[in-house]
């Protein structure tokens, strides 16, 4: 079996967790921003409409693996309520930035993450792959927790246009790390998105269960369905923390 020379990591639930956070905080910030921009809205109608539009776009993205974006969800909800607006409108972008501010502030490193990456940098090529729709939020989080310097390649669904477990996103990781898939191990907390996808791409897989052991819901769980394929998945390795992970690499 080829030696592992590169390691790819999921972000949310694998490297960072949210502390003292709920998506209601994001929705409040989004709604307030839109009201400030002059949209006449009632929260009781806007919020369910936004969630319905969100679900429709996410369901389609799950089927075809293609990009969706928060701009489409906000503009779609506004249009459904009689406010015709382009997804590229500055008010929409401002509202999205407001939406993600509480999310970014809430992100904290899982214990041992920084030291683990620091110990691997220079010995392995390291990559990050995130199923996130809004790349600026990922970049802000990485800067906030001090991880951006560790990665040789960063792939975000909202920029690439493909989402895990779609093969394209893992093949892009292979390209950025300049390694064949069988020389890459992928680490993630979601069986469907991370483990199934990486295995199909020919990578070795490590299921990180720290979040599950804390009984924390996935921050992206509202978008993730568990297929029969995922239920029958067997990761190559399962670890509960970074100490176990480093021992597995050794």
Q: Tens digits of per-residue pLDDT, 133-162?
A: 889 999 999 999 999 999 999 999 877 777
Same domain for 91 and 122: no
- 71 and 117 belong to one structural domain: no
Distance between CA 112 and CA 9 in Å, rounded?
14
From 105, 136, 155, give the residue that closes a domain.
105
Q: Residue 90: which residues within 8 A CB-CB, separation 6 or more?
A: none
Question: Is there a domain that residue 1 lies in?
Answer: no
Confidence of residue 221 (pLDDT cuts 50, 70, 90): low
Q: Is residue 134 situated within a structural domain?
A: yes
pTM here is: 0.87
Provide the domain count of the chain: 2
Report the CATH number that the domain containing residue 159 is assigned in CATH. 3.40.50.1000
| pLDDT at residue 91, as a whole number | 96
Residues 40, 117, single domain; the answer is no
How confident is the model over 163-201, as pLDDT tens digits? 788 888 999 999 999 999 999 999 999 999 999 999 999
> Which of 32-46, 74-88, 203-217, 223-237 shows the lowest mean pLDDT across its residues?
223-237
Phi-psi region of 163 (alpha: psi -120 to 50; beta: other; left: phi over 0): beta
Domain assignment present for residue 167? The answer is yes
Burial 93-106 (b: 16+ CB within 10 A, else e): eebbbbbbbbbbbb
What residues form DSSP beta bridges with 238? 207
Query: Is the distance from CB of 177 to CB of 128 less than 8 angstroms?
Result: no
Domain match, 120 and 163 both: yes
| 86-106 pLDDT per residue, tens | 999 999 999 999 999 999 999
Say whether the peptide bond before residue 217 is cis (omega within 30 degrees of 0). Answer: no
**The domain containing residue 168 runs over which residues?**
6-19+108-249
Same domain, 158 and 91: no
């Amino acid at each position: 079996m080829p030696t592992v020379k590169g390691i790819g990591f999921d972000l949310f639930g694998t490297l960072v967790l949210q502390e003292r956070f709920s998506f209601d905080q994001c929705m409040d910030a989004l709604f307030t921003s839109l009201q400030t921009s002059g949209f006449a809205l009632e929260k009781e109608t806007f919020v369910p409409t936004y969630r319905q539009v969100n679900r429709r776009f996410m369901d389609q993205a799950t089927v075809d693996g293609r990009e969706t974006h928060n701009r489409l969800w906000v503009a779609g909800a506004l249009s459904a309520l009689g406010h015709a607006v382009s997804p590229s409108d500055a008010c929409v972008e401002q509202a999205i930035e407001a939406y993600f501010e509480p999310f970014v502030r809430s992100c904290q490193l899982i214990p041992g993450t920084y030291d683990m990456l620091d110990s691997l940098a220079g010995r392995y090529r390291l990559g990050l792959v995130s199923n996130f729709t809004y790349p600026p939020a990922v970049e802000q989080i990485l800067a906030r927790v001090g991880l951006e310097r560790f990665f040789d390649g960063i792939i975000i669904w909202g920029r690439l246009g493909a989402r895990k477990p779609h093969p394209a996103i893992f093949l892009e990781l292979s390209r950025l790390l300049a390694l064949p898939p069988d020389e890459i191990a992928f680490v993630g907390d979601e069986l469907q998105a991370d483990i199934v996808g990486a295995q199909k791409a020919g990578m070795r897989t490590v299921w990180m269960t720290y979040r599950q052991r804390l009984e924390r819901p996935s921050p992206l769980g509202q978008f993730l369905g568990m297929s029969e394929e995922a239920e029958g998945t067997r990761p190559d390795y399962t670890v509960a923390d970074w100490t176990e992970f480093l021992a597995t690499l050794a």
